[in-house]
Every structure is written in C-alpha cells, then in structure tokens.
Amino acid sequence: MSGPRGLAFEDAVRYAGRSIGSARGRTALMTLAMAIGVAAVIALTALGQGARNYVLGEFLSLGGNILTVFPGRNETTGGRPPTTGATPRPLTLDDALALTRSGLVRRVAPIVVGQAPVSFGNRSRDVTVLGSTAAFKVIRHIDMQRGRFLPGGDPYAAPAVAVLGTNVARELFGTTAPVGQLLRIGDRRFRIIGVMASKGQSLGVDMDDVAVVPVAAAQALFNTESLFRVIVEAQARESIPSAKRTVEAIIAARHEGENDVTVISLDALLDTFDRILSILTLGVAGIAAISLAVAGLLIMNVMLVSVSQRTREIGLLKALGATPRAIARLFLAEATLLSCLGAAAGVAVAWAGITVFNALVPGFPVAAPPWAIVAGAGIAVATGLAFGVLPARRAARLDAVAALAGR
Amino acid sequence: MPAGPDAALVRLESLSRDFRVGEETVHALDDVTLAVERGEYVAVMGPSGSGKSTLLNIVGLLDRPTRGRYLLDGEDTTTLSDTRQAAVRSRKIGFVFQAFHLIPRLTARENIELPLMLAGIEPGERRPRVEETLESFGLADRARHRPDQLSGGQRQRVAIARATITRPEVVLADEPTGNLDSVSGAEVIATLERLNADGMTLVVVTHDADIGKRARRLLRFHDGRLAADEAQQR
C-alpha cells in the first residue's frame, strides 16, 4: 500500500514525553508507585540472595569434605517390622576410631555434648561442655587466642584439661589470666590449657560459649558411652560419596551388619539449603511483584482519568487525521514511558538501598543479581504496557464529534 | 480514485443523519443533496439545531450519515473503515474550530506540525514546511510560544496554519470568529479568504450575517433541510 506510513514510533514517544512532562503531579505519583514495586522486587531478591550466599559461605567455611555421623537411622527402609525396643545402638568411641582405618578418611573427631555447671572461685555458670579430640580443632578451623588446644595422643586417655570459649573465659575469670588455672566442671577439676579465639555462631553452636574437654573425660563426666556424633573429614571433596559408603560399611560391620547410623554430607545439606533459600527468595520476590501489579492498576486508573480529561485533545487528533491505531499508540507510549521512568527510579532506589544496607551491615554482603534487575524492570514495563492497553483502546474508540465537544 | 474533470469535490446524495434522543428520533440532516465544486467559497447559515454542524462533521468524515451517499473527490466515503477515513481526512480535509482546539502544552510550531507528524512525514521534511507556514501566516516570531501566551487572533491563525499545512482539498471552518473580537475576526476571515483565493475550497459555518454575505455561495439550513442555496455577488 502506498498510503501514508502513519504516526512514527519516535514521534509517539516524543508526544507522550511532552504529555507526562506537563502533568508533573500525575507523573510523580505513578513513577513513585512503579518505583516502589521495582525497588521491592530487586531489594528483596538481593536480600534473599545475600542470605543464601551467607549461609552457603558459612557452610563452605567449615570445609566441603566433611561427613557427620549420627547414631540411629532416621529413614524408613520398609520391609522389616519394627524391632521391639528400637533405641538405636550407641555410637561409641571405638566405632569412631575404627573409621580412621579407611584410606578415604583423613581424620575423625568424636563428639560428646552435655550441659554442666562450671565454676571458678565463687563464680559459676551452666556451660555447654563439648568432649572431643585434637582433630576437632583442625576440622572446625579453630584458632587459639591463648594457650593450646586439647593434646593429641590416646583418645581413651582422659587428662583433666579444658579449653574455654572467650565468653566463658571472660565471665569466669574476668581480668585473671585463665590459662594454668584450675576450674571445676561438674564434680571434676580441670586445668585450663587454652582459650579459643572468638568465632561466634557456627552451625548452631556458639563456640564462644563452650568448654572443650577430652572426649573420654566428657564421657566420664556425663556417664555415657555413646557419642553425640562423629565428624569425619574425608581426604577430598570428590571422595565424599565413596567415603560415605565406606563409613556406613565400617559401622555396619561393627554393629552386626545393621546399618543403624545416619551419615550426612555437608554437600547434601548444602543442596537442601540452597534449594530452600532459592525458593524463599523467589517467593519473597513474587510477593513484591504483587506491588508491581498494584502499580500497574494505578497506571491504568490514572491513564483512564487522563483519557477522560483529554477527550477534546483526542477529538482534535482525530480531526487532524489520526487513525484509531495512532491514538492508541500515543496513549500506550505514555503508559510505557511512565513505567520506564518508574522502573529506572526503582532500580536507582534499590541500588541506593543495597549500598546503604551494605554500609550498615558489613558482615552480610547483599547484592542484587542481574536477572532480578532485568526481571524487576522488565515486569514493570510489561505491566505498564498491559495496563495501558485498556485506556489506549478507550481513547482510540472515542467518537470524534462527541470528543471535540468535550462530551 | 482520480476524479473526472467535472466531478464535484463534495457531493451529497439524499443524505440524512438521525440521532436518537430518548424515545424520539431527531433528523439533524434530512435528505440533503448538494455539490461543492473545487475552489468554491461557501457559507453555511441557519439557526441552532438546523444541522449546520452535523453537515460539517459529515463532510469532514468525523460523522457518518444514516442514509444516503457522500462522495469526496469522486470517492464514496460512506463505506470506508474508520482507519481509511482517517487517512482521507489527513490528506484532504482541514478543520478550523470556534474554540481553536490547540494543545496547550505544545508550542505554536508543534501544534502546526501535528498533522504532519500524524501523517508519518519524516522530521526532515516537516521542518521546512512548518517554517514556511509559520512565515506565511506571520507567526514566525510566535513559533516558540504556547497557546496561553498568544492572543485569540494569533491562536486562530495557528489553528488555520495547522489545518492547511497538509495542503488539504477543503477547509471546514466551524464558527471560526465566534470566540474573537471584531478586529481579530476580520483578520481571521481575511486569512481564510486569502487561502481560498489561492484555490483552496472553503466552507464556513457561521451565525454572523456579515460573514455569510462575503461568501460567493450561501447555504441556508432549517430543521435539517437545505432551505436555500444562493449565489452571491461580493
């Protein structure tokens, strides 16, 4: 067709720009609504991602080549009826030490945990007492503030020595140097040989708030033969699956063929956490996206008002030869331009918010993933377009004569 | 569609336009047959509600007749789609309104440019035409003014410039002096008549008998019917 090519895209955008530039209040309101939605999507996604990175980083700092062995089997295998008195066979120090015979296992830290009153002089408090071996220090990356950690050597020996977390040391000893002092744990006396450097929360245990004693001493203290768990460090991260099978096989051999322990690798935990946190992030971002839909509705409402306020202008444009499609295009360009403005403002607000957050909370790095910025802004613009269609069509369908008369 | 040499520019054949007002049907135009030749200067007069404005709207393709045919430049417009009608309007028709209908946020230059923009003419081609038009309407020094910075007469001149920048076949003016004092009104009429002298067909709807007398042909409407069709001496 050799007819006129009709209203050009750039001209529609320029015309829409003049229109939104002349209605400052309306433009500011709609930009704000869109910006809030976009900023919410980006900021919440960034927070979610930050939480995910934080948790994963925390896990990886403990080493990716760690297996944890629990007594008892917490999964139903079916087929076999439950045996009477189904208490799991205890996991013993012998079991733990047997694991070191595998070439896939580098070191093993048996763990006993209990609460006991710890006192020095007239000060006393209830403390989580952790029984383990020298290997624990290496596996959990523990640094010493003063003195040394538990001595190596025979794990069955129970020398009366203890290592304290910083909080425990401070609260019991105050300004007195703790190393070399004798303190009382339960009804036994222990000599303090070291204080651990502050590490904070690690896997749910605050290492600053514990006292560490040799595993055999803890077993005697709490009068138990069973271990709370055994931490196994495999030779390498790649050998985790085979190490896991080996650990299960060794324990089963020692427990008359019964596979009655649970072995969890950090990898599996990591995967689970990763999945959970990713879904949480998406969920939160999805909720934020609802605010975008609300902003879209606002755009539609304001555009509808704009169409009814500008009927004369629409009538005039028709009289000047604008096709219905050209009119629709002008109003659609306006809605889209507004949502673009809102999206840009939202990205800026989110960026500013993230920067401020990172400055205030240095230990928890938060960053908006690029896809979130693209998605947030993209959804905003798409929303503007979608919700702009109805007002644009209403404008395009106005009767020219009535519109010119302002009816 | 090329028109024959003797074809009228505007030809209405037994054309009627009915409006339903509640239960009643109002015959705004009732069986009107008339032809306007290229280059004519026609005044349309009649009391309020006689159908003058409806006639103008139908000739300008803003409204459709209920019955009858309307041929513009030999082409039957009654069967055209809205989009095709808009295209014809863009090429062949220029409107001038009593209330000027300038877009307040746009400058005089931008208001005048509007029809070219809607027709999809390239900016490079638009600019010289707008400059030329501003010049010939004596608006060059007002190009960057917005409507609220212009006098009534200037506004209507901007509106006429806008109506004619596409070089339409016919200019339809609906009470073009209705909102102006007599001096500005005379100026506007002179501007329109100059365009007619250059060959543009001019149809003016007016209440003002003095303006009606100036046209070479006067159509009088009454109750939707063409009551008189008089040739006039100037």
A84 — pLDDT class (breaks 50, 70, 90): very low
Which tokens go with A315? 């009538």
pLDDT digits (tens, 9 = 90+) for A355-394: 999 999 887 888 888 888 898 888 888 988 899 999 999 9
What pLDDT score was predicted for residue A88? 63
Q: Are residues A18 and B106, on separate chains, in Cβ contact within 8 Å?
A: yes
pLDDT at B185: 93
Please give the pLDDT value at position A79: 47
Question: Measured in whole angstroms, how far is the alpha carbon of residue A96 from the centre of its chain?
Answer: 33
Contacts of B86 in chain A (CB under 8 A): 318, 321-324, 326
Instruction: Determine the Cα–Cα distance for residues A376 and A380; give it in Å rounded to an integer.
Output: 6
When CB atoms are compared, the residue of A7, A18, A21 closest to B118 is A7
pLDDT over 90 percentage in chain A: 32
Complex ipTM value: 0.93
| pLDDT value at residue A27 | 87
The residues on B that touch A, with CB distances below 8 Å, are 57, 60, 62-63, 82-83, 86-87, 89-91, 93, 95, 97, 101, 103-106, 110, 114-115, 117-121, 123, 162, 166
B10-231: CATH, from 2.40.110.10, 1.20.58.1000, 3.40.50.300, 3.20.20.70: 3.40.50.300
Contact: A323, B119; criterion CB under 8 Å: no
Residue A2's pLDDT is what?
Answer: 37
Residues A318, B86: C-beta atoms closer than 8 Å? yes
* Nearest Cα residue in chain B from A330: B118
- What per-residue string of b and e applies to B25-60 under the rule 16 or more CB within 10 Å gives b? ebbbbbebebebeebbbbbbbbeeebbbbbbbbbbb
Nearest to A326 among B57, B95, B118 (CB): B118
Q: How far is A13 from chain B (nearest CA, A)?
A: 12
Q: What percent of chain A has pLDDT over 70?
A: 93
Q: Cβ of B90 and A4 within 8 Å? A: yes
Token pair listed for B176: 């073009």
What confidence tens digit (pLDDT) does each residue in A194-238 have? 999 987 666 567 888 899 999 999 999 999 888 988 999 988 777
pLDDT (0 to 100) of residue A142: 87
Predicted confidence at residue A203, as pLDDT, reads 57
Q: What is the mean pLDDT of residues A270-295?
A: 84
For A398, the token pair is 């106005």
Determine the distance from the C-alpha atom of residue A73 to the mean position of all C-alpha atoms in its chain, rounded to a whole number: 28
Asked if B91 lies within 8 A of A8 by C-beta distance, the reply is no
**All residues at 6 or more sequence positions from B133 whose CB lies less than 8 Å from its CB, including other chains:** B112, B161, B164, B165
Domain parsing of chain B, residue ranges: 10-231
Q: Residue B199 class from Cβ within 10 Å (0-12 exposed, 13-18 middle, 19+ buried)?
A: exposed
List all residues 6 or more positions away from B129 whose beta carbon is below 8 Å from its beta carbon: B116, B165
Pick the closest to residue A251 from A237, A235, A263 (CA basis).
A263
Could you say which of B83, B117, B120 has the minimum Cβ distance to residue A324?
B83
Whether residues A316 and B103 touch (CB distance < 8 A) is answered with: yes
CA–CA dist A336, B25 (Å, integer): 43
Mutate to test the interface with B, among A5, A320, A334, A398 (most CBs of B within 10 A): A320
For chain A, the domains span 9-59+271-404, 89-259
Identify the H or E element spanning A329: helix A324-360
List the single residue in B60, B86, B121 with the smallest CB-CB distance to A323: B86
Which of chain B's residues have a Cβ under 8 Å away from the Cβ of A21? Answer: 105
**CB–CB contact B87 A3 (8 Å):** yes
Q: What is the pLDDT of residues A290-347, one digit of tens each?
A: 888 888 888 888 889 889 889 999 999 999 999 999 999 999 999 999 899 999 999 9
Is it the case that residue A4 has pLDDT exceeding 70? Answer: no
How far does B126 lie from chain A, in Å, by closest CA?
12
Among A5, A320, A404, the residue with its CB nearest the CB of B120 is: A5
User: How many angstroms separate the CA atoms of A394 and B187, rounded?
Assistant: 39
What is the rounded distance in angstroms from the CA atom of residue A288 to the CA atom of residue A30?
A: 17
Q: What is the pLDDT of residue A140?
A: 84
Say whether A312 and B120 touch across the interface (CB within 8 A): no
Is there a contact between A202 and A244 (Cβ–Cβ < 8 Å)? no
pLDDT in tens, chain B (234 residues): 454 555 789 999 999 999 988 889 999 999 999 999 999 999 999 998 899 999 999 999 999 999 999 999 999 999 999 999 999 999 999 999 999 999 999 999 999 999 999 999 999 999 999 999 999 999 999 999 999 999 999 999 999 999 999 999 999 999 999 999 999 999 999 999 999 999 999 999 999 999 999 999 999 999 999 999 998 876
Residue showing tokens 């030809």: B11
Lowest mean pLDDT among A42-46, A260-264, B129-133: A260-264
Please classify residue B234 by burial: count the beta carbons closer than 10 Å to its beta carbon, then call 0-12 exposed, 13-18 middle and 19+ buried. exposed
- pTM exceeds 0.90 for this model: no
What average pLDDT does chain A have?
A: 86
**Residue A71 in contact with residue A254, Cβ under 8 Å?**
no
Mean pLDDT across A346-350: 93
